[in-house]
Amino acid sequence: MTTTATTLKGQPLDRAAFDSMMRRRMFYTPSFEIYGGVSGLYDYGPPGTSLQSNLLDIWRKHFVLEEDMLEVDCSVLTPHEVFKTSGHVDRFADWMCKDPKFGDILRADHFVEDVLEARLKGDKEARGQTVEEKKKDAKREKKKSKDQQEAVKLDDAVVKEYEEILAKIDNYNGEELGELIKKYDLRVPKSGLQPTPPVAFNLMFQTSIGPSSNLPGYLRPETAQGQFLNFAKLLEFNQGAMPFASASIGKSYRNEISPRAGLLRVREFLMAEIEHFVDPEGGKKHSRFYEVEDIELDLLHRDTQLSGKTTVQKMTIGKAVKDGVVDNETLGYFLARISLFMQKIGIDMSKLRFRQHMANEMAHYACDCWDAELLTSSGWVECVGCADRSAYDLTVHSKHTGKPLLVRQRLEEPRIVQEWDVVIKKKKFGPAFKKDAKAIEAVILATTQEQREKLAKEIEETGKAAIDVPELGKVDVGKDLLAVEYKSRTENVRDYTPNVIEPSFGIGRILFALCEHNYWTRASEGGDEARSVLSFPPATAPTKVLIVPLSSNDKFRPYITKLSQKLRSAKISARVDDSSATIGKRYSRNDELGTPMGITIDFQTVEDGTITLRDRDSTKQVRAEEEKIIAAVRDIVNGDKTWQDIEKELPIFEGQELASR
Amino acid sequence: MTTTATTLKGQPLDRAAFDSMMRRRMFYTPSFEIYGGVSGLYDYGPPGTSLQSNLLDIWRKHFVLEEDMLEVDCSVLTPHEVFKTSGHVDRFADWMCKDPKFGDILRADHFVEDVLEARLKGDKEARGQTVEEKKKDAKREKKKSKDQQEAVKLDDAVVKEYEEILAKIDNYNGEELGELIKKYDLRVPKSGLQPTPPVAFNLMFQTSIGPSSNLPGYLRPETAQGQFLNFAKLLEFNQGAMPFASASIGKSYRNEISPRAGLLRVREFLMAEIEHFVDPEGGKKHSRFYEVEDIELDLLHRDTQLSGKTTVQKMTIGKAVKDGVVDNETLGYFLARISLFMQKIGIDMSKLRFRQHMANEMAHYACDCWDAELLTSSGWVECVGCADRSAYDLTVHSKHTGKPLLVRQRLEEPRIVQEWDVVIKKKKFGPAFKKDAKAIEAVILATTQEQREKLAKEIEETGKAAIDVPELGKVDVGKDLLAVEYKSRTENVRDYTPNVIEPSFGIGRILFALCEHNYWTRASEGGDEARSVLSFPPATAPTKVLIVPLSSNDKFRPYITKLSQKLRSAKISARVDDSSATIGKRYSRNDELGTPMGITIDFQTVEDGTITLRDRDSTKQVRAEEEKIIAAVRDIVNGDKTWQDIEKELPIFEGQELASR
C-alpha cells in the first residue's frame, strides 16, 4: 500500500516493506503468533524494548526531573466503585453495530467513515480523476477488500456533504451515527445490508478480585485515577505547596472493538501521564511560561474542523494563549513542552500538529483538549492528549467517599463571607422528634444556600418550616426548634479543589510514528532499494554502537572484549556482531536496527591498535586509536558533537570492506 | 508486634513503627484507600517509585547488559489456549477451604500452619516457657485475634509431630492438608468448627477479550510464557547462537486467596524474569562459571527440610555444584549472580539464604528449584525463584501449535543413527484402502520405534501387520503394502529443545526486604528513638542529594538554582527542601527517605561560595567550595569513594544548625 506518507528523505513510504522490516528486526511482533495471534496485542522484541526504554528515559528527564514531578506507580486492577464514580462505567464506551446477516461487529464511526470514503473514491474514479489515497484522519488500517466500491458519480452537493461529515466524524454520538447510516443508506459490503443501530460498548476489561467473586473490578483504561485518589497524600508529600504535578508510567487497557492498525490501536498499551494540579483562580498561569512563549506550533482549531476544514494555523504559543486560541498558560506551556519532547526524540517536526477536540468528541471528564497528532501512513494519529479535566475527578471522588480532596490556602488578607446559617436548638429538638431527630437534622444540614433562604422566609411567615424527609414525608419544625439566619463570618483560609491539566502520552503510538519518520532506503541516494535505514538520533537509538570484527579470527577476540568493557564503563550500550556474514551484510542489518555507529576491528587493529568508526547515515568512516574513537562516540551519544564534527577531527578512512589477509 | 527481626544496627525491629514510617513517607500506600482499599493492592509513592526504578536499573545492568540478554516486553493479556497448554489453567492453584458457619475463605496451608503454631505457643506457655515469636517461614502476617489459643500442654511426641509438619508445610497437597485437618481436629477459631475440605482455587484473573465475549483470557501470572512463545524469533534474532537468555520486566497478577502481609503477598506485582536457554546435553555448563565459583552461599537443602530441620550449609557454589547439591553449573551460576545482585543493592547478606524446593512444592513445570529467601519481620520470604524448567514449556507449546521450537545444531562430525523406518508402498496402498488410506497411513507413521520393532516382527512372522485405527478398528496391512526395516542414516544436524533455567525476581518483595534491612533508629546510637533512618547505598537511594537552604531568604535562591542545575547535568538526582521547618527537622525527614547526602546553603555561602555536605548515616559534615562538594557527591554516587574518604579530604564542619543572622 502506497500512501502519501513519506520517508525521512521525502520518498513515498512503502508501508508493506516498512512493516516487514520492523517485524524481521523484531521491533515488535504479534503476541501469541504461534497460536494465531490476538488482534490488538503486540510484543516488543529486543530493539523495540530498548527503544521504548530510551523514550521513557528521555520522557522522565524532560518532564519528571525537569519539573520535580512526583512520580507514582499505581495499581492497574481497580474496583468497580472507583470507575463507577469517575464516570467510566457509564460513559467510557465506543459505538458498536452489527452486520445483521453475518454478525460481524463494527465500530460505528469507522464504518460510516469507511463507506463514505469509498463512495468519494468511486466518485473520483467516475469523474476520471486519479485517485490518490487521502491523508485521512483515520487511526487504523482497513481491510482492503471491504472498501471496494463501484465507480459511481455523485452530485456535487453530496460530495460536499460527505466531506463535511468526514471532517467532523469524531463529533457524532451513537444516535447521530445511526441517523447517518439511515439517511445515506450505508451498507456493509459483505452482506449488502445496513448494520444494526449503534449501541454503546464499554471499553474496559472486566474481572473479579478475590476468591469469592463478589468484588468486580476493571483493568484501568488510563493511569490517571490512581493519581487522583492519592491527591491528598501527594499534596502532603509536597508539603502543601501548589501547584505541583504527579506523573506515572504504566500499562493501561482498552477493549477496542476491532483493532487493526498495528501499534496504533491496541488493547494493552504503555502510557505516560502527567496530572498537573493548579489553582483554578487567577487564569491558570504557569511560572515558566515565558521560557516557551516563542515556540511556534501548528494548531488546528475546533471551529476550523466544524466548518469542514483541516487547515492548520502556525503561531507562537505566546500568541495562541494571548488570543484565547489556547485557553490558558498552563495548557499552553505543556503543548510547547510536548513539542520540544517530540523534537528531542527525533520526530519529523513537519509531521506534528496540535488539534483541538470538538465538543462531542471530548471525554466525559474534559472541558478542553488538544491532541498532539503525528502524521503516519495511517494518517494523522493522536499520540498525546492534553486535556483540561477541570475539577471533575477530584470533585466526584471526594463527594462519593466523603474524603476531602482539597487545597487549604492560608489567605494573606482574611475575607468576609456572608451566608445563611442554620441553628438547631438541640435541647428541645431531640425530645421533640425522638428517634427521627437524626434523620430530620441531616436533611436540614444538607440544605443549600437557596433552600435556606426559603426556609428563613417560611419560618418568618408561618412560624415553622416544612421539611421533606425521606421515608417520613413532610415534617413541621417550629421556630422554637430551628433558626435560619443570614450571618457574616471572617475566613482566614480558602479551601479549593484544584483543576487538573493532563498531558497523556501513548508511548507505543509515538514509538511507531518515530520509526516511520526515521525510515528511508538507500535508493533515495542512488543506492539499493532493499537497504533500509532507521536514522534514530543517538539518544533514542536502541543500541549506540555495533562492534564488528572483520572475521571470526581469534586474534580479534581480546580487542573486542577490551572495547566492550570500555564502552560499558562509559555507559554506552554496544553490541558485538561476530557472525559469519560479510561486513557489508552486518552493517546493513545494523542500519535497519537504527544503530548510529559501527566500529570495525581488522588486521590493522592488531598491528597498530587503530579502529574505524562508521556513520550509519552517510556510511562514511574515520580511523584512529581506540581512545580517540571512544571519545568521539561519547561526544556523539551525549549530543556534544555531530558526525560532521568528527569527520573534521579524525582521519577519513577510505578502505573498503577488507578481505582477510 | 516485636519479632526477632532486627534493624540494620541489630536492634529489635518494631514492625508497627517501621510500617507507619513507610506509609508516612509514601514509599507505598494501600491502593484506593479513600474507597476503603482492596487487600493485596498497593500504590508506590514518589520514594517507592524511585527506589523501584533504581532497583530495575541496577538489575538491568547486572543481568541484561552484562550478559547481552535479549530483553522483550510481552502482553499481559493472554488467551485461554496458551495457559491451557502451559498447564496453568489446570494446575496453577492454591488450596482453599471455608469456615462452614461464617463462610470466611481460608488458604488451607496457612490455616493448618496458623492453628498448629498457635497450639505450640499454647504448649510453651503451659510449660512456663517464655514465648518468643519464632522466626517462621510464613510469608504473611496474621490477624492477631485469630491466633488466641489457651495454654494447653501437649505430649512431647505431638510437639515433635507438629514441628515436623511445619518444617515441610509447603510439601502437602490439598488432600493431605484435608487429612491433617481431620487427624488433628483443626478448627477455625471464629466458629469453632473444622473448615470444609480443601478445594483448588485457580490464581489467575480471568477476563474476556474483544466485544463478542467469545475469547476468554487471563492476566499472566508470570512473564515467562511470552518469552517462550517468542523463542524461535529470539533465536533467529540471536543469529542462531546458543546458549542465550531473554529477559523481561513487567507486571504479573495472582488472585491470592487472602493477601495480608503488605508488599509481601500482593495480587499485582512487578517481576523481572530471565529465561536462559541451554543445551540439555553436556551437563548444562556455563562458560562464566569460573568467575563465581568461589562465592559462598547459605544453602538449605531439600533433604534437610524433609527431615524437619532448617539448618543451612555454608559452601562455595563451586563445591555445591561439584558435590551435586546444586544440579548444574548454569543453575549455580545464577544463584551466585543473584547473591552478588543482593549485595549490590544493599541487602544484609546475613539475612539471605537459598532454599531448595521440596518435590510437592515445585511448580508443575519445574524439575528443580532454589529460592533466594530474605529474612524479614514476616520470617523468611521467597524473593527470587531460580527454577530449572527443563524443556517443559517449549515442548508443550510446540506440540500444541505444531510450530517447531527447536535449535538446529550443525554437527561437527556427522553421526550415524540406526532406527526402524516404515515404507508405505503408495501405488498399491491407496487402491487397497481407498478413502480409509489416509487414516491408516497416519497411524502407521505415528508409531514409535518400539512399536515399529514389533510390527517388523509381526510382518516377518505372519506376512501382515494388524493396525489399530481409531473408528475403523483392527486393519490388516499386508507385506506387499508395508515394509518395516532397520536402517542406518547419517545426520549432519541435531535438533534439540533447549532447557530453560529461570531466575525470577519479585521486585516488590525485594524492595520491602531492602527497606527493612536498611532501617534503624538513632536510639541505637544513643539518639532519639523517633528518629528513623533508611541507610540505602547511594546507588539504590531514591534521591541522592537534598539541597537545604538555611531559610527562605531570597539571597539563597540563585545558589539553589545554580546547584540544582549542576547536579542535574552531572546526572545526580537531587531535591530541594525549602519548606519552613527547621534544618534539623528537614534532615530528619530526609533520613527517613534514605537520601544519603545533604547540602546546606547558608549565609557563609553568600559570603564565600562554600557549602556544607552532610552524611546521612553519621550526620557529620564537611564544608568546601561548590565544585569540590559536587565532585565528592559524584564520587560517592558512582561508588568510587566512601564518606570516610571524603572526611579525610575536605575540612570537617562542626557548626551546628545556624540561626539566621
CB A533 within 8 A of CB A412: no
Pull the grid cell for residue A402: 466523603
- pLDDT by residue (tens digit) across A329-369? 999 999 999 999 999 999 999 999 999 998 777 777 777 89
Strands B352-356 and B296-300: parallel
Q: Is the pLDDT confidence value at A136 over 50?
A: no
- pLDDT by residue (tens digit) across A194-217? 999 999 999 999 999 998 767 899
B207 with A201: Cβ contact below 8 A: no
B32 with A75: Cβ contact below 8 A: yes
Cis? peptide before B243, omega within 30° of 0:
yes
What is the mean pLDDT of the segment spanning A118-128? 88
- pLDDT by residue (tens digit) across B142-165? 444 444 567 888 999 999 999 889
Category of B342 on φ-ψ map: left (φ > 0), alpha (ψ -120 to 50) or beta: alpha
Per the structure, how many domains does chain A have?
Answer: 4
pLDDT value, residue B214? 76
B77 with A32: Cβ contact below 8 A: no
Using 50, 70 and 90 to split pLDDT, how confident is the model at A145?
very low
B332: in domain? yes
Helix, strand, coil share (%) of chain B residues, nearest 5:
40, 30, 35
Q: Is the pLDDT confidence value at B291 over 60?
A: yes
Using 50, 70 and 90 to split pLDDT, how confident is the model at B130?
low
Candidate from B233, B237, B573 with C-beta closest to A65: B573
- pLDDT by residue (tens digit) across B48-66? 999 999 999 999 999 999 8
B70: in domain? yes
Taking all residues of chain B, what is their mean pLDDT, rounded to a whole number? 90
Q: What is the ipTM of this complex?
A: 0.86
B229 with A70: Cβ contact below 8 A: no
Cβ of A152 under 8 Å from any chain B Cβ? no
B575: in domain? yes
Handedness of CA B329, B331, B337, B343 (dihedral sign): negative
If asked whether residues A74 and A223 sit together in one domain, one would say yes
pLDDT value, residue B149? 64
B50 with A33: Cβ contact below 8 A: no
Window 11-40 of B, Cβ < 8 Å to A = 25-26, 29, 31-35, 38-39
* CATH code of residue A490: 3.30.720
Cβ of B360 under 8 Å from any chain A Cβ? no
Buried b (16+ CB within 10 A) or exposed e, B168-203: bbbbbebebbbebbeebebebeeeeebbbbbeebbb
- Residue A591 DSSP SS3: helix
Report the gap between the CA of A32 and the closest CA in chain B (Å). 6
Q: Is the pLDDT confidence value at A646 over 50?
A: yes
- Output the CA angle A528-A536-A352, nearest 5 degrees: 105
* Burial degree of A175 (CB within 10 A; 0-12, 13-18, 19+): exposed
Report the gap between the CA of B351 and the closest CA in chain A (Å). 28
pLDDT value, residue B443? 87
B75 with A239: Cβ contact below 8 A: no
If asked whether residues A293 and A224 sit together in one domain, one would say yes
Percentage of chain B beyond pLDDT 70 is 95
- Long-range contact set of residues B319-323: C-beta below 8 Å, sequence gap at least 24: B321/B289, B321/B293
Using 50, 70 and 90 to split pLDDT, how confident is the model at B119?
very high
A176: in domain? yes
If asked whether residues B440 and B309 sit together in one domain, one would say no
B32 with A96: Cβ contact below 8 A: no
pLDDT value, residue A313? 94
- pLDDT by residue (tens digit) across A407-450? 999 888 898 888 899 999 988 998 999 888 888 988 898 888 88
Return d(Cα B269, Cα B508) in angstroms, integer: 7
Q: Which of B38, B97, B260 to mutate against chain A (most A CBs within 10 Å)?
A: B38
Report the gap between the CA of B203 and the closest CA in chain A (Å). 9
Buried b (16+ CB within 10 A) or exposed e, A550-571: bbeeeebeebbeebbeebeeee
What is the mean pLDDT of the segment spanning B194-215? 90
Using 50, 70 and 90 to split pLDDT, how confident is the model at A130?
low
**What does each C-alpha distance from B101 to B114, B149, B179, B180, B196 come to in angstroms?**
19, 20, 20, 20, 10
Domain termination residue (choose one: B202, B233, B258): B202
Report the gap between the CA of A324 and the closest CA in chain B (Å). 32
* CATH code of residue B611: 3.40.50.800
Pull the grid cell for residue A190: 459483505
If asked whether residues A361 and A428 sit together in one domain, one would say no
B397 with A34: Cβ contact below 8 A: yes
What is the mean pLDDT of the segment spanning B238-249? 95
Q: Which of B32, B209, B637 to mutate against chain A (most A CBs within 10 Å)?
A: B32
Return d(Cα A470, Cα A114) in angstroms, integer: 53
Using 50, 70 and 90 to split pLDDT, how confident is the model at B134?
very low
pLDDT value, residue A534? 97
B71 with A78: Cβ contact below 8 A: no
If asked whether residues A368 and A384 sit together in one domain, one would say yes
CB A583 within 8 A of CB A615: no
Q: Which range among A575-584, B165-174, B487-496 shows the weakest confidence by mean pLDDT?
A: B165-174
Residue labelled with grid coordinates 454503546: A200
B267 with A209: Cβ contact below 8 A: yes
Report the gap between the CA of B75 and the closest CA in chain A (Å). 6
Domain that holds residue B163: 93-202
Phi and psi for A176 in degrees, rounded to 5?
A: -65, -35
Cβ of B81 under 8 Å from any chain A Cβ? yes
CB B389 within 8 A of CB B367: yes
Cβ of B203 under 8 Å from any chain A Cβ? no
Buried b (16+ CB within 10 A) or exposed e, A615-638: bbeebebbbbebebbbbbbbbbbe
Taking all residues of chain A, what is their mean pLDDT, rounded to a whole number? 90
Nearest CA in chain B to A209: B255
pLDDT value, residue B167? 82
- pLDDT by residue (tens digit) across A226-282? 999 999 999 999 999 999 999 999 999 999 988 877 888 899 999 999 999 999 998
A524: in domain? no
Percentage of chain A beyond pLDDT 70 is 95
Cα dihedral value B642, B643, B648, B654, nearest 10 = 180
Helix, strand, coil share (%) of chain A residues, nearest 5:
40, 30, 35
pLDDT value, residue B307? 85
If asked whether residues A483 and A568 sit together in one domain, one would say no
B134: in domain? yes
Q: Is the pLDDT confidence value at A311 over 50?
A: yes
Give which of A275, A338, A252, A271 is closest to A508, Cα–Cα. A271
Q: Is the pLDDT confidence value at A116 over 70?
A: yes
* CATH code of residue B481: 3.30.720.200
If asked whether residues B130 and B79 sit together in one domain, one would say no
**What does each C-alpha distance from B423 to B225, B322, B427, B485 come to in angstroms?**
39, 48, 12, 8
- pLDDT by residue (tens digit) across A8-61? 999 999 999 999 999 999 999 999 999 999 999 999 999 999 999 999 999 999
Buried b (16+ CB within 10 A) or exposed e, B236-259: ebbeeeebbbbbbbbbbbbbbbbb
Residue labelled with grid coordinates 471464629: B190
CB count, 10 Å around CB of B235?
21
pLDDT value, residue B408? 93
If asked whether residues B134 and B79 sit together in one domain, one would say no
CB B530 within 8 A of CB B630: no
Instruction: Give the N- to C-terminal CA distance of chain A in Å, as an integer.
Output: 46
If asked whether residues B217 and B266 sit together in one domain, one would say yes
* CATH code of residue A278: 3.30.930.10
Cβ of A530 under 8 Å from any chain B Cβ? no
Nearest CA in chain A to B218: A207
pLDDT value, residue A131? 57
A38 with B207: Cβ contact below 8 A: no
Domain termination residue (choose one: A202, A236, A263): A202
> In the 8-state DSSP scheme, what is residue A290?
G
If asked whether residues B485 and B504 sit together in one domain, one would say no
A105 with B212: Cβ contact below 8 A: yes
Using 50, 70 and 90 to split pLDDT, how confident is the model at B31?
very high
Pull the grid cell for residue A539: 539518544
Contacting residues of A for B44, CB less than 8 Å apart: 72-74
Q: Which of B35, B107, B213, B567 to mutate against chain A (most A CBs within 10 Å)?
A: B35
Domain termination residue (choose one: A202, A233, A266): A202
Using 50, 70 and 90 to split pLDDT, how confident is the model at A306?
confident
Instruction: Give the N- to C-terminal CA distance of chain B in Å, as an integer.
Output: 46
Cβ of A199 under 8 Å from any chain B Cβ? no
Cβ of A189 under 8 Å from any chain B Cβ? no
Q: Is the pLDDT confidence value at B398 over 60?
A: yes
Candidate from B46, B268, B401 with C-beta closest to A34: B401
If asked whether residues B183 and B131 sit together in one domain, one would say yes
Report the gap between the CA of A207 and the closest CA in chain B (Å). 5
> In the 8-state DSSP scheme, what is residue A262?
T
Cβ of B200 under 8 Å from any chain A Cβ? no
B211 with A105: Cβ contact below 8 A: yes
Handedness of CA B192, B193, B197, B201 (dihedral sign): negative
pLDDT value, residue A141? 43
Using 50, 70 and 90 to split pLDDT, how confident is the model at B661?
very low
User: Alpha helix (H) ranges present in B350-485?
Assistant: 392-401, 426-433, 437-445, 449-462
* CATH code of residue B101: 3.30.40.230
CB count, 10 Å around CB of A86?
25
What is the number of CB-based contacts under 8 A between chain A and chain B?
A: 191
Return d(Cα A79, Cα B487) in angstroms, integer: 65
A518: in domain? no
- Residue A31 DSSP SS3: coil
Q: Is the pLDDT confidence value at A161 over 60?
A: yes
What is the mean pLDDT of the segment spanning B473-488? 90
Pull the grid cell for residue A631: 571519545
Return d(Cα B295, Cα A353) in angstroms, integer: 57
If asked whether residues A233 and A173 sit together in one domain, one would say no
B530: in domain? no
DSSP secondary structure of B151-182: -----HHHHHHHHHHHHTGGG--HHHHHHHHH
- Residue A376 DSSP SS3: strand
Q: Is the pLDDT confidence value at A510 over 70?
A: yes
